[in-house]
Amino acid sequence: MTIDSGSTLDRRELLTRAAPACVGAWLGICRMPGLAEWHDDAARQEQHKFDVPSELKLSTRQRVGMQNGNLIEFIKTLQNHMPEEEVIGLLNSYSAEVGKRAGEQQARGAPDTSFQRFVATFRPPRYANSLTHEVVEDSEKVFELRVTECIWAETFRNAGLGGEIGHAAVCNMDYYWPSAFNPSFKMERTKTLMQGDDHCNHRYLDTA
């Protein structure tokens, strides 16, 4: 695909069509350990070979690197053909949609859309393999996390895509997730590892 900065192709449509990322990749969802062991030989024979679970065991760093490798290369291609501000705007639009889908998907699978139900998603030890985080405030309407290590920030920064680019590609989705789960919820944040701070301060609020 040739990308022309003067093209009439809608930038948001371009990334939606071409970027290989998906909600599962952003959330760190992967094949559950031992899934292959749950299938007996007969069940395996009924599956197409493309659908048989892989026995490959990966570390979190390897898995996130593989999941985001094509996206990282795609972003670098965009940087070679478009002004930086356009790339950032495009990634912000795409990650906003990713965040909305994540919230909507979570809401569909939840027994209710209460604040405590929502923040339970982020309570340690959830995400323990991909984040180092602790709860610093936990009340009826406020839930704040301090994140000191993030595998996504590490992956994008190591690829030379930290700062505003990495924030637009990954971190921006966090703002859209809460309100998609429940319109009364929102997130505030003033620091991110992706942008070079020593921690992320995710603060979730119930504004109802």
Domain total for the chain? Answer: 1
Is 2 inside any structural domain? no
Does residue 135 lie in a domain region? Answer: yes
Q: Given CA atoms 72, 60, 97, 146 in this order, what sign does their dihedral have? A: negative
Residue 5 within any structural domain of the chain: no
Report the CATH number at residue 72: 3.30.1380
The 10s digit of each residue's pLDDT in 32-89 is 333 334 344 545 567 888 888 777 788 999 999 999 999 999 999 999 999 999 999 9
Say which range, 24-38, 133-147, 179-193, has the weakest mean pLDDT: 24-38
Query: Which pTM was predicted?
Result: 0.77
Q: Which domain holds residue 43?
A: 11-206
Q: Is residue 6 part of a domain?
A: no
Show the tokens assigned to 28: 């760190």
Cα–Cα distance measured from residue 171 to residue 168, given in angstroms and rounded to the nearest whole number: 6
> Is residue 143 assigned to a domain?
yes
For residue 3, being part of any structural domain is answered with no
Element spanning 151, H or E: helix 151-158
Q: Does a structural domain hold residue 21? A: yes
